[in-house]
């Protein structure tokens, strides 16, 4: 490791985990495509990482030979963490590396190179923390100040030669008084990363009281949880009623026991962790209302079969979801106020004059909701192609973070799992989500007679802050009417 440190000052450059998705704070190394000793070139993909939004491949931003992989596969690291060291071609050190003073500690800054990932290459400063102003000792302005500083540091200028310890013993009490105010000014802001600060805020933990265990005195998540645990336990016992000595033992419940031989623990991280947080935030922020309608979709199913034989749809995926998506887009055109979002900061309803149609897709990494940009402008064949590409990309785990941002309304098809209906939770920032139930043959009154018909149930959840019952009902009724009579796709457009 000593050789590695010395080389890094010269020709070895370190590549840090970039922010690959607009503000994400961490990512997991899924797979390394290179090993120590391999030659890499600028733009070559060296690893695959999973963020809270998607799996992304990372290219290296310079040429050279891999010296070391600092992070093993399966490890989650914070943005800004060094993950790979590369000995640059030619062995020439960047100009910043040969500079003296503080500049020598800064990360080399390549010039004239464009970012290749969202958020990559735009942060000019290093993530290495430097002493804060409050923690620095200002330069003395006079000999008197130097004398005071010398006394506070324990080596007064009046004692040029080392003397026996008892000689200066009477003097320490004098500087002890000014030392107290100095300590009172010292409490600088504790070192902690933004996610840790948010965790502390959520748990009601004062970071100034937390004992840090991270490198350079940084407070970690574990430190916050450790500080919160003893603070939360006594809160269960009323402070106003003194309990006898045996009472605390009775109040505290035994620690839960786990059977490691018959249980499996799965860490919640990446996409699944982000989805869980988003759903909790949505469920307890937006007042949800869900309405249901059961509709005869026999004619829609016939239309699907006819389109499969149409040469304009050759090679395209044609299914009921395609017609339902088109029906939803037509219903939005008839009820444009449904396509909106709630701006809490400005207390405004933001009407969207475009439709980025989200499609919930189940993947091995969890639920993803990529969206089709400007879906309202697409004809049926184009919409079919977009749906097919979206689903295929999601299932392969190659959905980009950009594809999951900016959605306005979402469709979730629970019917593919044989489920009749459900009460979907809004995708954060959207006003409505439509759930499609299973399409089944059921007895239905048609033209005055009970006949077997293809029937499904639709469920629409919407944000009641900006969508009232009338608007939500009209919108859902229009979707159902189109699916019952698909010719309305022409008469209503």
Nearest to 489 by CA among 299, 353, 348, 259: 299
- Which of 82-91, 168-177, 232-241 ranks highest by mean pLDDT? 82-91
Q: How confident is the model at residue 21 (pLDDT cuts 50, 70, 90)?
A: low
**Domain 2-105, what architecture?**
Beta Barrel (2.40)
Nearest to 455 by CA among 414, 483, 489: 483
pTM exceeds 0.75: no
| Spatial CB neighbours of 99, under 8 Å, sequence gap ≥ 6 | none
The one catalytic residue among 225, 353, 376, 464: 464
What is the arithmetic mean of pLDDT over 234-239?
Answer: 45
Residue that the structure tokens 């992304």 belong to:
56
Domain span(s) for CATH 2.40.50.100 in the chain:
2-105
Q: How confident is the model at residue 322 (pLDDT cuts 50, 70, 90)?
A: very high
Residue that the structure tokens 């805020």 belong to:
201
Domain span(s) for CATH 3.30.559.10 in the chain:
271-491
Q: DSSP code of 125?
A: S
Query: Does the pLDDT of residue 237 top 60, yes or no?
Result: no
Query: Does the pLDDT of residue 127 top 60, yes or no?
Result: no
- Judge contact between 476 and 458, C-beta under 8 A: yes
Count of residues in the chain: 493
| Spatial CB neighbours of 145, under 8 Å, sequence gap ≥ 6 | none
- 57 or 237: which leads in pLDDT: 57
Give me the pLDDT at residue 228, please.
75
Bridge-based pairing state of the strands 191-192 and 440-446: unpaired
Residue 359, judged by CB atoms within 10 A of its CB (0-12, 13-18, 19+), counts as buried
Q: No. of H helices and E strands in the chain?
A: 13, 21
- Judge contact between 275 and 367, C-beta under 8 A: yes
What is the arithmetic mean of pLDDT over 26-47?
Answer: 89
CA distance 472 to 450: 30
CA distance 82 to 15: 6
Give me the pLDDT at residue 404, please.
87
Among 207-216, 291-300, 438-447, 454-463, the minimum mean pLDDT is found in 207-216
Q: What is the pLDDT of residues 357-398, one digit of tens each?
A: 999 988 877 788 999 999 999 999 999 999 999 988 888 878
Q: How confident is the model at residue 339 (pLDDT cuts 50, 70, 90)?
A: very high
What is the arithmetic mean of pLDDT over 460-481?
Answer: 95
CA distance 227 to 439: 53
Bridge-based pairing state of the strands 12-16 and 82-88: antiparallel
What is the arithmetic mean of pLDDT over 21-26?
Answer: 68
Q: Determine whether 464 is an active site residue.
A: yes
Q: How confident is the model at residue 22 (pLDDT cuts 50, 70, 90)?
A: low
Enter the CATH code of domain 271-491: 3.30.559.10
CA distance 435 to 407: 16
Q: What is the pLDDT of residues 239-271, one digit of tens each?
A: 444 444 544 444 555 566 667 788 887 777 766
Q: What is the pLDDT of residues 58-117, one digit of tens each?
A: 898 888 899 999 999 888 888 889 999 998 865 544 433 333 344 444 444 444 444 333
- Mean pLDDT taken over the chain: 76
DSSP string, 24-42: --EEEEEEES--TT-EE-T
Instruction: Return the C-alpha torsion angle 111, 117, 120, 121, nearest 10.
Output: 10
Residue 163, token pair as written in the block: 């003397």
- Judge contact between 483 and 323, C-beta under 8 A: yes
Q: What is the pLDDT of residues 409-429, one digit of tens each?
A: 999 999 999 999 999 999 888
Over the Cα atoms of the chain, what is R_g? 31
The helix (H) or strand (E) run that includes residue 5 is helix 2-9
Give me the pLDDT at residue 140, please.
47
Among 141-145, 211-215, 455-459, the minimum mean pLDDT is found in 141-145
Bridge-based pairing state of the strands 371-372 and 361-363: unpaired
Cα 387 to Cα 123, 203, 325, 360: the distances in Å are 36, 42, 9, 11
Could you give the residue ranges of the DSSP H alpha helices within 186-297?
A: 194-203, 221-232, 247-251, 270-283
- Per the DSSP assignment, residues forming a β-bridge with 454 are 441
């Amino acid at each position: 490791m000593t050789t590695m440190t010395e080389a890094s000052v010269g020709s070895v450059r370190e590549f840090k985990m970039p922010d690959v998705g607009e503000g994400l704070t961490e990512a997991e190394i899924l797979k390394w495509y290179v090993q120590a000793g391999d030659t890499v070139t600028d733009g070559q993909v060296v690893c695959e990482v999973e963020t809270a939004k998607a799996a992304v491949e990372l290219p290296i931003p310079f040429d050279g030979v891999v010296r070391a992989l600092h992070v093993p596969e399966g490890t989650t690291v914070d943005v800004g963490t060094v993950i790979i060291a590369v000995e640059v071609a030619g062995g020439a050190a960047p100009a910043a590396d040969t500079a003296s003073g503080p500049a020598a500690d800064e990360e080399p800054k390549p010039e004239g190179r464009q970012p290749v990932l969202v958020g990559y290459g735009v942060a000019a400063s290093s993530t290495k923390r430097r002493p804060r102003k409050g923690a620095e000792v200002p330069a003395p302005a006079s000999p008197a100040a130097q004398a005071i500083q010398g006394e506070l540091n324990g080596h007064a200028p009046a004692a040029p030669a080392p003397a026996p310890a008892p000689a200066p013993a009477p003097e320490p009490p004098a500087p002890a008084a000014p030392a107290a105010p100095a300590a009172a000014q010292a409490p600088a802001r504790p070192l902690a990363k933004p996610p840790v600060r948010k965790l502390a805020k959520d748990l009601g933990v004062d970071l100034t009281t937390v004992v840090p265990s991270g490198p350079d005195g940084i407070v970690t998540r574990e430190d916050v949880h450790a500080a919160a645990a003893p603070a939360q336990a006594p809160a269960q016992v009323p402070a106003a009623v003194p309990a006898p000595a045996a009472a605390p033992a009775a109040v505290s419940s035994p620690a839960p026991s786990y059977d490691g031989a018959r249980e499996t623990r799965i860490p919640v991280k990446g996409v699944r962790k982000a989805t869980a947080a988003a759903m909790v935030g949505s469920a307890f922020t937006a007042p949800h209302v869900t309405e249901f309608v059961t509709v005869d979709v026999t004619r829609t199913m016939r239309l699907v079969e006819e389109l499969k034989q149409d040469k304009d749809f050759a090679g395209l995926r044609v299914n009921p979801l395609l017609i339902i998506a088109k029906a939803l887009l037509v219903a939005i055109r008839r009820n444009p106020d449904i396509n909106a979002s709630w701006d809490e900061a400005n207390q405004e309803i933001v009407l969207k004059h475009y439709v980025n149609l989200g499609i919930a897709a189940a993947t091995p990494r969890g639920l993803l909701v990529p969206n089709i940009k400007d879906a309202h402008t697409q004809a049926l064949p184009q919409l079919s192609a977009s749906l097919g590409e979206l689903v295929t990309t999601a299932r392969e785990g190659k959905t980009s973070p950009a594809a999951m941002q900016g959605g306005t309304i979402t469709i979730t098809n629970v019917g593919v799992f044989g489920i009749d209906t459900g009460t979907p939770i809004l995708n954060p920032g959207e006003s409505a989500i439509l759930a499609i139930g299973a399409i089944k043959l059921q007895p239905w009154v048609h033209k005055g007679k009970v006949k077997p018909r293809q029937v499904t149930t639709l469920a629409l959840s919407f944000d009641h802050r900006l969508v009232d019952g009338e608007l939500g009902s009209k919108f859902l009724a229009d979707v159902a009417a189109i699916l019952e009579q698909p010719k309305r796709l022409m008469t209503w457009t």
